[in-house]
Amino acid sequence: MNQRVIKLRQKLAEAGLDALLVSQPENRRYLSGFTGSAGMLLITQDKAVIATDFRYVEQSTQQAPDFELFKTEGDLGHWFPDAAGDFGARVWGYESQHLTVAEFYALKGAMRRTSANGRPRLVATREMVEPLRQVKEPQELALMARACEITSRTLDEVAAVLEPGTTEAAAAWEIERRFHEKGGQGLAFDSIVAAGPNAALPHHQPSDHPIERGETIVVDIGARVGGYCCDMTRTVCLGKPDDKVRRVYDTVFGAQLTALSTVRAGMTGAEADALARGFIKKAGYGEAFGHSLGHGVGLAVHELPRLSHVSQDVLEEGMVFTIEPGVYLAGWGGVRIEDTVVLEKGGARPLTTARKGLG
Ligand code: ZN
Ligand code: ZN
């Protein structure tokens, strides 16, 4: 059995669970290797079953050789008693942040029908598998490095060909095309290209707004390779930036460099967040930095650890996360600079390397 499942079993024992039903797609993939879009894992101390439907029987057999296959028919309430009937597990954990309410009630009903030896109990769990995903293995890091390289080269290329009049949507399409041409699997998330006042919206969707000289253009993009995401932002400006653009840019850039150069293993997410937030506050833009400093990246673009002002997540060597301070001024625009980094003994090593600077 693979090490990931062995580690999960230790956690189940510590949590007093006999079994865990894994429904969250990235968790399912991480534990089993199965990349399909439907199915659940049923894991106990001595059983590991992948339950999926006809479409994925062949694929799951190939990709998840450590797992026993159970072919599902109908909904969860229908197949669960047959799949788990002989497990003998009394305390079943489920992923409360993912299982739908409909699935929960179907599962509850199914438990009632398997009550021969006393009714199994359902226990809501949070983040049983997610913490295991935080520290990356060498093969995961290699995929992330590749995703970040494709993203960085693409951004450098596209920044060089942006012209006044190019729409945000056209730039976003150009980025996606180049990801594919460079061997990426496509987008890790919907690209953000936000120019002028739109740049004040941290998650603006690219529109037909034509980019103009002098405004800030926030480009937040990520390619995906082997399931693994990159997440990077650069802010550029066509033509000569005015004093305000420079001042805001220098503030965010200084905050980002401060956090990049001083974040260390052993800090909490809140301590890391404070490194950049303090810098931005001192420059008078504290109120305009309304989101957290960063987040873990991996199979999901947002995962653990959290680098927010309240996060007690402890940063460890081998974790991959973003460092992305920003300043957003309604009606004017915004600046964000984001790198995906891996935390090592000496500090953070950026995996994203696109050039920085306004243009
Ligand atoms: Zn981003
Ligand atoms: Zn991000």
Listed residues: CB within 5 A of ion ligand 1? 220, 231, 233, 338
d(CA 304, CA 130): 7
Instruction: For residue 193, report the distance from its CA to the centre of ligand 2, in Å.
Output: 14
Do both 95 and 197 map to the same domain?
no
Q: The CATH number of the domain where 243 resides is what?
A: 3.90.230.10
**Arithmetic mean of pLDDT, 119-124:** 91
Among all bound ligands, the one having the nearest atom to the CA of 321 is 2
Assess if residue 277 is contained within a domain: yes
> What pLDDT is stored for residue 145 in this prediction?
98
Assess if residue 358 is contained within a domain: no
Of 97, 132, 167, the last residue of a domain is 132
Do both 112 and 150 map to the same domain?
no
Chain segment 182-210, per-residue pLDDT in tens: 999 989 999 999 999 999 999 999 999 99
Average pLDDT of the chain to the nearest whole number: 96
The SS3 assignment for 247 reads: helix
> What pLDDT is stored for residue 115 in this prediction?
55
> What pLDDT is stored for residue 305 in this prediction?
98
Instruction: For residue 258, report the distance from its CA to the centre of ligand 1, in Å.
Output: 19
The total number of structural domains that make up the chain? 2
Of 80, 100, 132, the last residue of a domain is 132
Instruction: For residue 232, report the distance from its CA to the centre of ligand 1, in Å.
Output: 5
Do both 102 and 75 map to the same domain?
yes
Do both 84 and 124 map to the same domain?
yes
Assess if residue 357 is contained within a domain: no
> What pLDDT is stored for residue 117 in this prediction?
62
Assess if residue 47 is contained within a domain: yes
Among all bound ligands, the one having the nearest atom to the CA of 320 is 2
Domain extent, residue 101, equals 2-132
Assess if residue 155 is contained within a domain: yes
- Ordered strands of the 192-195 beta sheet: 192-195, 216-221, 232-237
The 10 Å Cβ neighbour count of residue 312 is 11
Residues 6 or more apart whose CB falls under 8 angstroms from that of 204 comprise 168, 192, 194, 198, 218
Instruction: For residue 157, report the distance from its CA to the centre of ligand 1, in Å.
Output: 18
- Using pLDDT thresholds of 50, 70 and 90, give the confidence band for residue 112: confident
Do both 321 and 229 map to the same domain?
yes
Q: The CATH number of the domain where 15 resides is what?
A: 3.40.350.10
Do both 40 and 124 map to the same domain?
yes
Rounded percentage of the chain residues whose pLDDT exceeds 90: 95
Among all bound ligands, the one having the nearest atom to the CA of 303 is 2
Instruction: For residue 339, report the distance from its CA to the centre of ligand 1, in Å.
Output: 8
Residues 6 or more apart whose CB falls under 8 angstroms from that of 106 comprise 75, 76, 77, 78, 80
**Arithmetic mean of pLDDT, 198-226:** 96
Assess if residue 25 is contained within a domain: yes
Chain segment 32-82, per-residue pLDDT in tens: 999 999 999 999 999 999 999 999 999 999 999 999 999 999 999 999 999
Instruction: For residue 189, report the distance from its CA to the centre of ligand 2, in Å.
Output: 10
Question: Do you find a cis peptide bond into 305, omega within 30 degrees of 0?
Answer: yes
Do both 108 and 253 map to the same domain?
no
- The amino acid occupying position 53 is D
Do both 309 and 190 map to the same domain?
yes
Chain segment 301-324, per-residue pLDDT in tens: 999 999 999 999 999 999 999 999
Do both 100 and 146 map to the same domain?
no
Do both 261 and 287 map to the same domain?
yes
CB 162 within 8 A of CB 171: yes
d(CA 218, CA 249): 11
pLDDT over threshold 60, residue 116: no
Do both 169 and 125 map to the same domain?
no
Of 95, 114, 132, the last residue of a domain is 132
d(CA 359, CA 355): 9
Torsion sign (Cα): 190, 191, 195, 197 = positive
Chain segment 317-346, per-residue pLDDT in tens: 999 999 999 999 999 999 999 999 999 999
d(CA 331, CA 69): 55
Instruction: For residue 269, report the distance from its CA to the centre of ligand 2, in Å.
Output: 14
Among all bound ligands, the one having the nearest atom to the CA of 322 is 2
Assess if residue 355 is contained within a domain: no
Instruction: For residue 233, report the distance from its CA to the centre of ligand 1, in Å.
Output: 6
Do both 27 and 145 map to the same domain?
no
Instruction: For residue 294, report the distance from its CA to the centre of ligand 2, in Å.
Output: 6
- Using pLDDT thresholds of 50, 70 and 90, give the confidence band for residue 359: confident
Assess if residue 242 is contained within a domain: yes
Start-to-end C-alpha separation, the chain: 51
Among all bound ligands, the one having the nearest atom to the CA of 187 is 1
